[in-house]
Structure 1
């Protein structure tokens, strides 16, 4: 069909607007473990997209990329990860977050890159990864839970000197940016609910880490199966605000934050972690996070349960069971996702003297939806259903 120049100009403007919105929209992501996929990778991508997730977080660990010194390749354990990135790259409405992490027996006796030579070797691996995935991976996270010892095979105490991690970040950041200036590089995986992480972050800032990062990554876990119990979402958001306050107090300006991991296991024998309770926690946390202008994305952990032991928390963080059946958390996110991801909606949150939290959402056309609850208390189910119904009309 032949179009007029006016029609073409309109289409170009609309296309650019759409591209702009996609590029800058809030990320509602999910953590995945491609090596454990039992069906084609595309099935899992489609499952997540069906419930509103538009970003996928996984790692491409060093030990599996460099099996011989100086020789880099995608080994079989990472085949599905490579396939995941290809699918996302062809989609354009989704994004990938790759974690560059963990040690390599060829270089790191302690599993942590500590010496300058070890740091350079890690940076070289990061250089290869970011050159391979230029314009295909939107986000990189440098290491995963450094202070927690996650992924460390040896019984090694994490190096707590902030100078070491800062040095690693500096060299890695430069390599990634040389290859892909548009990539967003985040650092830290800070859990603000744990005091030692905040002390460490303070030291990282003092050593100049913010000059070599585009954002801080936060892992806002607060699940405690035993006493005193899981911290409510309101407290988790409060602690992220304290983290931002720390950054501002030291630098005079805010820093973008990406919550790259948070989750709640569904536990049949823990009332606070029933499917209903977890769904409410996820609704609250997602809405409150979206209300903070400095929070640019949220990746829930994780897509599929890791096992079938109903008494083991680590098996039950999934939004879907091992048979891919959706939990209530998945259904809840599905109702919210469209609004959460669209930056044309304005979220405003406030709390009155009676500890009633109110979040108001306003569309670009002026339509409004509102949800409120008393701090640390459940949302009234009738009000919640009405709120979700209103979102469908906005």
Structure 2
């Protein structure tokens, strides 16, 4: 099977390096003073540098109210304050609640919303020099499960109507994310919020499309992006003249889970690789933040202990290796494109320079007849953390683990695909 390649650039934005227009971030917990895993920003900095991430995400303590200048931040918000000074990655800062300040868990009264808004504006004033992205709350919608008086779209809209203009007053050119929806089946909550005017008070929407408790086959990176593409299509149907930017501010898989069984370390590594390779080619998707950087414990029954790219002792898991390898493979490239030679088969193309392309190929379909790809003799391969690729003399089998390769631009058309028992 020969494939027609479209190598044209759609717009000038494509000439930017991926690292300059797309966020590869991780969630962490320096903002939790009691958290024993995230002991110091110095430890975290070295790991972030190894991964080469360009963004982080963390909860802001309400101790920010005790700070009156940037010099006060280490005393007011502890490890997070020190981290802002030494970690170069762009911070996403979650403006969440505090049980002492908001005993009702979510600010649903006018007085509580005023208290929250004052905190948010104060944070924007003090932190503006760090070029933060602020996120108004985190997974507000999930409280519906616990209390029918909480988690509603209506109450969330009242909050963002108060907080968004207060934050933008301090950082008029800054980015404020709204939504933060977790486990939002068929995107009902977020679509209702947008229908009611959410994007009048936000610069982008944040989503958490977890699938670690789905039946086994959809627990993949491909399915995460399929779900988010569905949301984007619905947004374009409802608002064809509006470009609504989406940020995946949490996504991850626990490798141990007493309730849902967990996902294997190798599958998690493949998932992270798949998402990082495809997501930058979606112009309306601005970034992904893997949850999370470090395991928070070792309890085999508690899934929250096992989301880390690194384990509790800060040893690198396969997903960390995959993330680092893939990001370093694409971060300096431009003009990412995804083509599909077959259903659920992905062929990603990136420009390293005028003379050189980088490509990634992976296949998510379950077929009785294998799919294969043949590369020109000029190809140089990049190992995905030592993964072996089944092959014949000249054909490579397409599987869920991506094949990473670099070829001269003039040879791109020599890549061939075939579906056969033996090619």
Pair 1:295 & 2:290 matched: no
Tell me what 2:161 maps to.
170
Q: Which whole-Å CA distance do the structure 2 matches of 1:146 and 1:110 have between them? A: 13
**Which 5+ residue runs of structure 1 have no aligned equivalent?**
1-19, 68-72
Whether the 8 Å contact between 1:28 and 1:341 is mirrored in structure 2 is: no
Q: CA deviation at 1:40?
A: 3.1
Pair 1:115 & 2:109 matched: yes
Tell me what 1:100 maps to.
95
Deviations 1:206-259 (CA, angstroms, capped at 9, x unpaired): 22111211111111211017x456532222111101111222222222311111
Secondary structure at the aligned position of 1:181 is classed as coil
Compared CA separation, residues 250 and 312, structure 1 to 2 (3 A): same
* Aligned residue runs from structure 1 range 53-64, under 5 A: 53-62=53-62, 64=63
Tell me what 2:316 maps to.
326
Q: How many aligned residue pairs are there? A: 356
Deviations 1:138-186 (CA, angstroms, capped at 9, x unpaired): 2111100001239x9xx64463432221121122111111111232111
Give the RMSD, CA atoms, in angstroms: 3.3
Tell me what 1:138 maps to.
132
Aligned match of 1:349 in 338, 360, 365?
338
Whether the 8 Å contact between 2:18 and 2:334 is mirrored in structure 1 is: no
Pair 1:224 & 2:220 matched: no
Deviations 1:13-60 (CA, angstroms, capped at 9, x unpaired): xxxxxxx97994311111111132554312211211112212111011
Q: Which whole-Å CA distance do the structure 2 matches of 1:111 and 1:271 have between them? A: 30
Q: What is the TM-score when the length of structure 1 is the normalising length?
A: 0.80
Compared CA separation, residues 76 and 149, structure 1 to 2 (3 A): farther
Aligned match of 2:23 in 20, 23, 27?
27
Q: Which whole-Å CA distance do the structure 2 matches of 1:377 and 1:139 have between them? A: 40
Whether the 8 Å contact between 2:18 and 2:331 is mirrored in structure 1 is: no
Secondary structure at the aligned position of 1:237 is classed as helix
* Aligned residue runs from structure 1 range 1-394, under 5 A: 24-34=20-30, 35=33, 36=35, 37=37, 39-62=39-62, 64-65=63-64, 78-88=77-87, 91=88, 94-106=89-101, 108-149=102-143, 156-157=147-148, 159-191=150-182, 194-195=185-186, 198-224=187-213, 227=215, 231-252=219-240, 253-267=242-256, 273-342=263-332, 344-376=333-365, 381-382=388-389, 387-388=403-404, 390=406
Q: Which whole-Å CA distance do the structure 2 matches of 1:101 and 1:279 have between them? A: 30
Secondary structure at the aligned position of 1:307 is classed as coil
Q: CA deviation at 1:135?
A: 2.1
Whether the 8 Å contact between 2:94 and 2:136 is mirrored in structure 1 is: yes
**Which 5+ residue runs of structure 2 have no aligned equivalent?**
1-15, 67-71, 368-383, 390-395, 408-423
- Say which structure is richer in helix: 1
Whether the 8 Å contact between 2:25 and 2:56 is mirrored in structure 1 is: yes
Secondary structure at the aligned position of 2:129 is classed as coil
Compared CA separation, residues 203 and 144, structure 1 to 2 (3 A): same
Secondary structure at the aligned position of 1:273 is classed as coil
Deviations 1:66-121 (CA, angstroms, capped at 9, x unpaired): 58xxxxx8686830011111213xx4xx2111000124444x44211112222121
Compared CA separation, residues 271 and 372, structure 1 to 2 (3 A): farther
Compared CA separation, residues 177 and 193, structure 1 to 2 (3 A): closer
Q: CA deviation at 1:125?
A: 0.5
Deviations 1:176-208 (CA, angstroms, capped at 9, x unpaired): 11111232111111247623xx22222211221
233-242 vs 373-382, greater mean Cα deviation: 373-382
Whether the 8 Å contact between 1:266 and 1:275 is mirrored in structure 2 is: yes
Q: CA deviation at 1:341?
A: 3.7
Compared CA separation, residues 134 and 268, structure 1 to 2 (3 A): closer
Secondary structure at the aligned position of 1:149 is classed as helix
Whether the 8 Å contact between 2:292 and 2:307 is mirrored in structure 1 is: yes
Tell me what 2:6 maps to.
none
Whether the 8 Å contact between 2:276 and 2:327 is mirrored in structure 1 is: no
Q: CA deviation at 1:354?
A: 4.4
Q: Which whole-Å CA distance do the structure 2 matches of 1:209 and 1:65 have between them? A: 27
Whether the 8 Å contact between 1:356 and 1:374 is mirrored in structure 2 is: yes
